Structure 1
Amino acid sequence: MFELLATIAAGTSGAGGVEAWLRVESAACARKVAAMAGLLQAAYAADGSADRDQWCLDNWDAVAAHIGAAQRITLHAASNQLLIAVALHERFPLVATVFAEGLITYQLARTVVQRGALVVDPSALHELDRLLAEALSNREPMSMSTLEKTVDAFVAQVDPQAVHRTETRARGRSVDVGDEDGSGMATVYATLFAHDAKAFDARVDALARTVCPADPRTLDQRRADAIGALSHGSDRLACLCESPDCPAGENPPSTGVVVYVIAHQDTVDERPAPPSPAPAPDLPDVPDPADDVSPGENAEPSGTCEGSESDSDERSSNVVTQSESRDRTANKPADERAALDGEPPAMFAGPLRELTLTEALTPAPGRLANLRPAALMGGQFLPGVVACRAAVGATITRIVHPGQAPPEPRYRPSKKLADFVRCRDMTCRFPGCRAPATNCDVDHTIPWPYGPTAASNLKCLCRRHHLLKTFWGGESGWRDEQLVDGTIVWTAPDGRTHITTPGSRRLFPELSEPTKTVQTSRVPLSHNGGLTMPRRKTTRAQGRASRIQREREREYP
């Protein structure tokens, strides 16, 4: 069928070509979805799969990780696609056939699965599948809104208790933080109770007015900064007037909120010197993620020591990490203030009639645009001018590249080495995963003690992918190889390879300079002996059935 559709589309053009290739695209997507369902079926058919359903990282997670690596998407996104694939295959086979013919898009197929999720009676589900397949095959193309109403009408016909009731505004309240877009800014959307919204508005306004009249920011800018102050637990906003005797210019008290920013030394040096210079303390130890310890694995005894700063084999890097705990100073450089605060400058230097077309269309170069950009831990891009603002009052820790230094003679890496690995990697190194390195384990690629504790043998893995490597690895599972520049070559269970490079390579290539080559001894096949996978109290299927039952019995207003 797919080959026939592709052949027909090849001979079309114009609007007809758009429609024909859209059908080919949908049919190809249906094949991809069917392959996902087949991958899960193969996992369930393997020996020991019933026991692995009780694992914390079960068959479903292992298949989702495989799908995520193939598409370079997160585990959550891959798991959602797998859910749609399995539901089409097992619950809506007739709709899946319509999908395979390219008559509906993936978005419409997903809507059918979501709106019909609460139907559990087999006969009712079969009738719903038949009605939907007939409607989607014979009627005119439907919009998403029309399809939702159609599915709800059919669900009400076959199983009234399975209709998704319309949620009230109160039940749908939420706070969403939009994805960072590379500008150094993010957007927050919130739906609150009316009385809480009034209180929030008053609180933000009051914080915005704790500065003196000479502060260069507009009220809107101060209200935005006040939300940041609230997030860090501060009770006032630091004034940016630069006056030494300003009563509002003192730093708000430091809180326990920590934000990690990786920046080049040149960028950090643009910040003004703090009023009272003091030696910068080391970054506080990040709890738990620094340990390369899987559940059930023995940790190293306490008493680890930091690597020597005077080691002749180590070389200093100009990359630093900033640990910002909300303490900000009032002293700001004038050019940065002009770039970030106050009213925007005039768009044109003269009347438009006196400008050439090129002058009118070319924006003025931004101030501090020559500063090297920085990045948040997690890989989000941060313009240099915003990193300069973040550096004010922050704790600065220099990141030391280990160079050709010998391995550390212990299981757990020193804080200095762990900091380097996290700043080099920025995120979990599994294909498609974007978990920040601060939330990851520092994993030995070749397990200790057969592999050394050295930068060339250490990488960041989130806990889920750490468990995946440990318990779903081996000769027939996931295998990884690490190169001296931090590149990881992953081999999937099907033999396909996926390559991931350190997240810092684009902005801070100096962190990916080669480190000492790893010398290893032969790793026995039973090196994970004694480790046990954490287990679930109920299987994934049992939990899903329980949630559906609660949803069907819920009383809606």
Structure 2
Amino acid sequence: MFDRFATAFDASGTVGEWARVEAAATARRLAAMVVLLDRAYAADGSADREQWYLDNWGAVAAEIGAEQNITQGAASHQLLIATALRDRLPEVAALFADGLVSYRVVSAITARTALVRDRDAQRAVDRAFAEVLTDWAPMSEDKLNNAIDAIVAEHDPHGVYRTKLTAKGRNIQFDYDGSGMATMFGTLLATHGKALEKRLNVLAHTVCPGDPRTVEQRRADAVHSITHALDYLPCLCGSDDCPGPKTPPTGNAVVYVVVNEDTLDDTSDAAAAQDAALDGDPERLFDKPLSEITTWDELGGNTGADGSDDSHADAEGELADAAPDDESPIAEPDANHVAADDTCGSGGPAAHANHESPATRPGAIIGGPFLPGALARRFALTAKVRKVCHPGDAPPEPRYTPSRRLAEFVRCRDLTCRFPGCSQPATEADIDHTIAWPIGPTCASNLKCLCRRHHLLKTFWGGPNGWGDRQLPDGTIIWTSPHGRTYVTEPGSKLLFPSLYTPTAPVTVTAEQAERARAQHNPGLLMPRRQRTRAQDRAQRVTADRRLNEAEAQAGAPGY
């Protein structure tokens, strides 16, 4: 594997030498970000744009994210580090540029010195770090943070980063590992944690003795009951005489899942084996341990070249009610919910007969991970399932707002926001006309999902000298940045649901019409505005944190 790298460049240096090259290159990458930011601030009208919802900083972060194919949040974090090195820590920045300090250490220093606001204290802290950094031995994260805090405390005791002394750090986070499961972890107030523990135990024991799940599994499933304000856990024993509650929960929280239609076929032997394993060892869902799975075929992702029809299941946890208005991204089940061997809608590709081999094909939560076939079938038991119809060569719709059917197809085809590096779910995004209406038609080849932030970016930072986009009939988007760089994004359905990636009727707008629409990209619209600029918000947070430190010092808190 590594032999091909040796042929691409001279790899004769040591690991340490290349680490210094990497650090120096990273320093230059961050410096280039600051250049982009300075250009934005120097542009005409930049002062007024500081109170835009998508301000100068946000626009620059979007361009940095597109260039590196990372989220705008990650790009904004890098830009914070870059500006901190330039404005507060120039001597540390010089060591970084020489490759003498790693990005990990620099990132920790910039974060844990953010509360130092006095200019003399900033210079003293910067000088102190420059004197000791090259002599520091490798440290764990905790030791590194303690060493940084010690230097800050010496020059500005109220500027030490002290979140561990307060409840500010409490949080709940979710991690999706790709197995169809989610890991929830976080920090609560002790009293809230104990109450939650007791509530889960109570709900786990509301089922009958025939429920196939373990106590631990029932405790995990009880979280779903809590989200719907239920005082019971639905029983899964399957018995008609079950004395326990079996009514599935309903509510307002909607989870959208896209699956291949044949995945929902539970009549095959493969499906039966997977379903039997679902309440036992999760790794029995596959032919080998999850840690050893390396290809999509092993996950059941061999969708084949024929591209069968796709189904769209949405659930409130596991059950959803469709929105009543025609502009809703989700439609009520209707007469077009056809059997597997029928044709879906006008001009749509024919679905193919169910067969056993693709029964394990996974589905995908829109904006989230994929779901193994067994989990998708379990999910669909109490979900509203509807056919997603490919528009084929259908003509454009004669209005600005796409129909429910068309909007649903676009969201399932895209799965996420289509801006480079953005992973915002399509269900939380706007549907944007690539070529602005009314010049651009309302059809699948001219519609895509953009989160509100990137929709505003295209609308207010677009035009002849800003961001531009071009859409191909298969949904591929070609973006052009204000500096002429191009980025290509493909629909999220390409891998798991290839039938949704099939080209639709092309847009018949001429190049001249498209250019005229781009020149008139923002007719009479107003950017939402902030009450305070981003810089004012940051200054307020710093002031609030320093005030907490001062209060703890006066109260004689540990560390003072």
Q: TM-score range by the shorter chain?
A: 0.7 to 0.9
Q: 1:210 to 1:145 in 2, by over 3 A?
A: closer
1:149 maps onto 2:143 in alignment: no
State whether residues 207 and 234 of structure 2, in contact with CA within 8 Å, keep that contact through their aligned partners in structure 1: yes
Query: Match of 1:504, SS?
Result: helix
1:216 maps onto 2:228 in alignment: no
Task: Tell me, in whole angstroms, the C-alpha distance in 2 between the residues paired with 1:439 and 1:467.
Answer: 14
Q: Deviations over 1:356-382 (max 9, x none)?
A: xxxxxxxxxxx9984211000115211
> Aligned pairs, how many?
477
Q: Could you tell me which residue of structure 1 aligns to residue 478 of structure 2?
A: 489
Deviation at 1:198?
Answer: 2.5
1:203 maps onto 2:241 in alignment: no
1:470 to 459, 462, 482: 459
State whether residues 228 and 249 of structure 2, in contact with CA within 8 Å, keep that contact through their aligned partners in structure 1: no
Deviation at 1:224?
Answer: 1.2
Q: Could you tell me which residue of structure 2 aligns to residue 314 of structure 1?
A: 347
Q: 1:251 to 1:490 in 2, by over 3 A?
A: same
Q: Could you tell me which residue of structure 1 aligns to residue 535 of structure 2?
A: 541
2:97 to 91, 100, 111: 100
Unaligned runs of 5+ in 1: 1-8, 273-279, 292-305, 320-366
State whether residues 327 and 401 of structure 2, in contact with CA within 8 Å, keep that contact through their aligned partners in structure 1: no
Q: 1:286 to 1:541 in 2, by over 3 A?
A: farther
Q: Could you tell me which residue of structure 1 aligns to residue 491 of structure 2?
A: 502
Deviation at 1:406?
Answer: 0.4
State whether residues 65 and 75 of structure 1, in contact with CA within 8 Å, keep that contact through their aligned partners in structure 2: yes
Greater displacement, 155-164 / 379-388: 155-164
Task: Tell me, in whole angstroms, the C-alpha distance in 2 between the residues paired with 1:59 and 1:409.
Answer: 37
Q: Could you tell me which residue of structure 1 aligns to residue 407 of structure 2?
A: 418
Deviation at 1:253?
Answer: 4.3
Q: Could you tell me which residue of structure 1 aligns to residue 73 of structure 2?
A: 76
AA in 1 matched with 2:388: I
Deviation at 1:392?
Answer: 0.5
Task: Tell me, in whole angstroms, the C-alpha distance in 1 between the residues paired with 2:119 and 2:429.
Answer: 43
Greater displacement, 429-438 / 24-33: 24-33
Q: Could you tell me which residue of structure 2 aligns to residue 407 of structure 1?
A: 396
Task: Tell me, in whole angstroms, the C-alpha distance in 1 between the residues paired with 2:159 and 2:489.
Answer: 44
Query: Match of 2:165, SS?
Result: coil
Task: Tell me, in whole angstroms, the C-alpha distance in 1 between the residues paired with 2:418 and 2:424.
Answer: 9
Deviation at 1:458?
Answer: 0.3
Q: 1:270 to 1:483 in 2, by over 3 A?
A: same
Q: Could you tell me which residue of structure 2 aligns to residue 346 of structure 1?
A: none
Q: Could you tell me which residue of structure 2 aligns to residue 341 of structure 1?
A: none
Aligned ranges for residues 70-469 of structure 1 at < 5 Å? 70-165=67-162, 167-168=164-165, 170-178=167-175, 180-248=176-244, 250-270=246-266, 284-285=322-323, 313-315=346-348, 370-469=359-458
State whether residues 234 and 255 of structure 1, in contact with CA within 8 Å, keep that contact through their aligned partners in structure 2: no
Task: Tell me, in whole angstroms, the C-alpha distance in 1 between the residues paired with 2:547 and 2:440.
Answer: 54
Q: Could you tell me which residue of structure 2 aligns to residue 332 of structure 1?
A: none
Unaligned runs of 5+ in 2: 1-8, 272-314, 338-342
State whether residues 336 and 387 of structure 2, in contact with CA within 8 Å, keep that contact through their aligned partners in structure 1: no
State whether residues 262 and 359 of structure 2, in contact with CA within 8 Å, keep that contact through their aligned partners in structure 1: no
Deviation at 1:147?
Answer: 3.4
State whether residues 251 and 320 of structure 2, in contact with CA within 8 Å, keep that contact through their aligned partners in structure 1: no
Task: Tell me, in whole angstroms, the C-alpha distance in 1 between the residues paired with 2:11 and 2:223.
Answer: 57
Q: 1:250 to 1:312 in 2, by over 3 A?
A: closer
Q: Could you tell me which residue of structure 2 aligns to residue 550 of structure 1?
A: 544
Q: 1:126 to 1:314 in 2, by over 3 A?
A: same
Identity %: 53
State whether residues 440 and 462 of structure 1, in contact with CA within 8 Å, keep that contact through their aligned partners in structure 2: yes
More helix as a share of residues: 2
Task: Tell me, in whole angstroms, the C-alpha distance in 2 between the residues paired with 1:269 and 1:10.
Answer: 54
Deviation at 1:167?
Answer: 2.2
Deviation at 1:532?
Answer: 1.3
1:528 to 512, 522, 534: 522
Q: Could you tell me which residue of structure 2 aligns to residue 5 of structure 1?
A: none
Deviation at 1:204?
Answer: 1.0
Greater displacement, 427-436 / 153-162: 153-162
Greater displacement, 447-456 / 205-214: 205-214
Deviation at 1:197?
Answer: 2.4
Deviation at 1:11?
Answer: 7.6
Greater displacement, 31-40 / 243-252: 243-252
Task: Tell me, in whole angstroms, the C-alpha distance in 2 between the residues paired with 1:220 and 1:130.
Answer: 54
Deviation at 1:169?
Answer: 6.3
